[in-house]
Chain A
Amino acid sequence: MIQKKICLLGAFAVGKTSLIVRYVDSLFSDKYHTTVGVKIDKKQLTVDDQDLTLMIWDLAGQDELTRVKTSYLRGVSGYIIVADVTRPHSLDIAINMHKETREFTGDVPFILALNKSDLTDKWLIDREAVEKLRQEGVTVINSSAKTGEGVEDIFEQLSHQMLESKSANTTKAAGN
């Protein structure tokens, strides 16, 4: 079976752990519990007729006190950057973290998850900036760990992209 390491990154309290708990255990709690350190979960799924095990690394959210160690990104096949639609600054942090991550991982697939999208009346992030990212080719998925909206989609689309990028790399290698 193919195994892939993926990481969830983003500012603190954007819902990274909640997305994983919703995806892996189908549970949700709206109480905020900060993550300290790294938690790794495992999830098996079938994508494009291929069985796949995701090793999902939940990294502590970034703030003034905590910076993500780039060494946690070793061997990563893809990542999910999470922003909270009710906190504009979380999108800036997401974009910066994406740039920093890219420097370490190179061109691996990633998804931008706009989490807490069920809070439609509290939506404060810059829609124009999101649209610009979409136009630049970034896969942006609205998600809600609370309602489950978009959650499966995030992991499945990332898995699909990782498998696609693997087969593209294999084809490239065979052609060389």
Chain B
Amino acid sequence: MSQILSKVYQSMNIAVLERQSGSTFHLLTDAPKWLQHFCGSHIGVNQPLNLRGTFPFLDCFMEEAEEFWASKISTPQRSGAWIEFSPSGEEIPLEATVIWQNDQCLLIIQDLGEEYYNEVVRLQSFRDHSLTQESLQAEVEAQTKEIRSREEAIAMTLLTAAGHRDHETASHVRRIGLYAEVMAKSLDWNSSETADIRIAAPMHDIGKIGIPDRILLKPGKLDEQEFEIMKTHAAIGADMLSGTDIPLLKMASDIALCHHERWDGTGYPRGLAGKDIPESARIVTIVDVYDALVHKRVYKEASSEQSALKLMSQMVGKHFDPELFKVFLANLPTLNSIRMKHVEPVKA
């Protein structure tokens, strides 16, 4: 080896070894100081050197090296950095590179020195920055969650007050939101929209505020004219919730307007059909009917789940979106657990 090359290797803290057999190598360069720490100060050029057990990391990399040499690929393969400690506790960052050159299996081990520490500084700075970002993001998420929770509490209180006229309960409006949220999650809606529908869905009947008591609270069946007035609650609700750029209220307005539309186009107020009806409203249509059927009302007893599902299955394709109904059925166990958790209050 030329003197110049030898000097280059020394200055770069590199040991070049040629594999003889198994884990025995010949050292082709002078032994750098770091190698002497681990293999003894006596080692020199062209001396055999058995590296097995000296560096546990290298023992593992040798398996990869063997495969590399066997494949005779000319592109060098690097091990990635690893850290050894000298007997005095000094940290030594090393990296191995294997090369196949002129039928020789070569192993180069280098003390990365400053290069390694520059990389540490670079990564440390990047990760410190990432940690700060992550922490800020977590803070924003926590605050957003708190704001949402307050919005939800206010909305539920107002809705319960509004629903009090026609005996809708707080539990009912709460359940509609939770059912709709489960459906939205199952449909892979994003987290913001999923959170929105939880609050927007319970507002579907808010327009009933505008319906006169004589119609809203009429015990018997509504006549044709009364029913026409009753139907206006959809448009009234949508109108009340419109006029803002807030996505939650836009969704609530869509739901209020379209929750009585039917998949086959026979619903009201606009007679929309199929996917012209917003998905949010199609979801609410299903869960609203479900909740109404399985709970007792002043005008009816609660149906068993079995009979409710039987009745609902007859409404698929007419009243309900068939695909969404499948999603509803797939989520029934979760919907049931919501139902059990948010039961109707027992009236004294």
By a CB distance below 8 angstroms, the chain A residues around B93 are: 36-37
CB distance from B224 to the nearest CB of A (A): 51
Secondary structure of the A contact surface, majority rule: loop
By a CB distance below 8 angstroms, the chain B residues around A37 are: 80-83, 93, 95, 116
By a CB distance below 8 angstroms, the chain B residues around A89 are: 134
A99 contacts the other chain (CB 8 A): no
Once the chains bind, are A36 and B123 in contact (CB under 8 Å)?
Answer: yes
CA distance A72 to B59 in the complex (A): 11
B120 contacts the other chain (CB 8 A): yes
A164 contacts the other chain (CB 8 A): no
By a CB distance below 8 angstroms, the chain B residues around A71 are: 60-61, 64
B266 contacts the other chain (CB 8 A): no
CB distance from B126 to the nearest CB of A (A): 6
Secondary structure of the B contact surface, majority rule: helix
CA distance A68 to B60 in the complex (A): 15
Classify chain B: how many residues form its interface, as a range: 20 to 34
Q: Which residues of A, 42-87, contact B by the 8 Å Cβ criterion?
A: 55, 61, 63, 65-66, 69, 71-72, 74-75, 87
B124 contacts the other chain (CB 8 A): yes
CA distance A12 to B138 in the complex (A): 16
Q: Which residues of B, 230-267, contact A by the 8 Å Cβ criterion?
A: none
Residue in contact with B119 in the complex, picked from A36, A63, A88, CB distance below 8 Å: A36
Q: List 30 A-B contacts (CB under 8 A).
A: A5-B60, A13-B127, A13-B131, A32-B128, A32-B131, A36-B93, A36-B116, A36-B119, A36-B120, A36-B123, A37-B81, A37-B83, A37-B93, A37-B95, A37-B116, A38-B80, A38-B81, A38-B82, A38-B83, A39-B82, A55-B56, A61-B127, A63-B130, A65-B123, A65-B126, A69-B80, A74-B64, A87-B134, A87-B138, A89-B134
CB distance from A118 to the nearest CB of B (A): 18
A40 contacts the other chain (CB 8 A): yes
CA distance A70 to B217 in the complex (A): 69
CA distance A3 to B119 in the complex (A): 32
Q: Which residues of B, 125-149, contact A by the 8 Å Cβ criterion?
A: 126-128, 130-131, 134, 138, 142
Residue in contact with B123 in the complex, picked from A66, A72, A124, CB distance below 8 Å: A66
Once the chains bind, are A75 and B60 in contact (CB under 8 Å)?
Answer: yes
The 8 closest A-B pairs by CB, nearest first: A37-B81, A38-B82, A34-B124, A39-B83, A36-B120, A12-B127, A37-B82, A34-B123
CB distance from A70 to the nearest CB of B (A): 10
Nearest A-chain residue to B134, judged by Cβ: A87
Q: Which residues of A, 1-58, contact B by the 8 Å Cβ criterion?
A: 5, 12-13, 32-34, 36-40, 55
Q: Which among A37, A39, A63 has the highest number of chain B CB atoms within 10 Å? A: A37
B103 contacts the other chain (CB 8 A): no
Q: Which residues of A, 94-137, contact B by the 8 Å Cβ criterion?
A: 124
CB distance from A20 to the nearest CB of B (A): 12
CB distance from A171 to the nearest CB of B (A): 28
By a CB distance below 8 angstroms, the chain A residues around B95 are: 37
> 0/1 per residue, B316-347, Cβ < 8 Å to A?
00000000000000000000000000000000
Nearest B-chain residue to A37, judged by Cβ: B81
By a CB distance below 8 angstroms, the chain B residues around A124 are: 138, 142
